Structures are given as C-alpha cells and as structure tokens.
Amino acid sequence: MRMLHTMLRVGDLDRSIAFYTDCLGMELLRKRDFPGGKFTLAFLGYGAEEENTVLELTHNWDTGEYDLGSGYGHIAIGVDDVYATCEAIRAKGGKVVREPGPMMHGTTVLAFVEDPDGYKVELLSVD
C-alpha cells in the first residue's frame, strides 16, 4: 500500500493551480473535466504519480468557495531553506501566515503559507 493523493476542494481552479505551480513549484500532472458531474479534477505534484503522493484539486463548477471548518490542519512540504522559500513565495504574491523560525518547544525550522482558498501549507526544513 501507499498513499496516492490528498484532495482539496477549490473555488477557482486556475488561481489554485497558479499558486501550487508558481509559488510552491509543483507541476500540473493532469487535468480532466467531468461535464456530467459539473466538476474538474487537477493533479499536481513534484514527480510522477506512479512514484509520488500528489495533490488533487477538485473544482465543482457551481461552487465558488468552501467553509474549511475546524477539522482541516495542513499539508506539509519539505524544503531546503524555509527562509528563502518564504521570500520566493512572498515575491510571487503568496501569503506567509507564520513567519519562518523554530517550532515552539523544538528546533525544527518551519513556516506556514496559505493558498488562495485559505488552506494552510506547512513548510518544513529538511536538512
């Protein structure tokens, strides 16, 4: 067994794809419309789906936004330099919601950014 993907519902698919590709460096792996169900699926990631866990963005054509609720936590992405990554994301218009620095009660360097729909993405230093 292996984990295949994590799915997020998004209100504006093009805006979300731009965030995950431009700000977080993912690649759009595939995208498919389902006219009968009035939704589109887009799969993004850092490598082929056969070898990597990816992110599925689901856009329901008649829904412009979602209530994230209190159950969602975050997606975590490992990066070489959290500080430089946050600066690059900020320069591309991304929103840093927790500045880079050591985690509370620990030494791991992390930061949080927010995607256009309000989903949190944790950036973790992977030395």
Examine the residue annotation and report whether 122 is marked as an active-site residue of this protein: yes
E-only strand ranges, 24-70: 27-34, 39-45, 54-60
Active-site pick, 27, 56, 99, 122: 122
- The span from the CA of 15 to the CA of 20, in Å, is 9
C-alpha separations of 49 from 22, 116, 125 in Å: 19, 24, 24
Q: Mind telling me the catalytic residues? A: 122
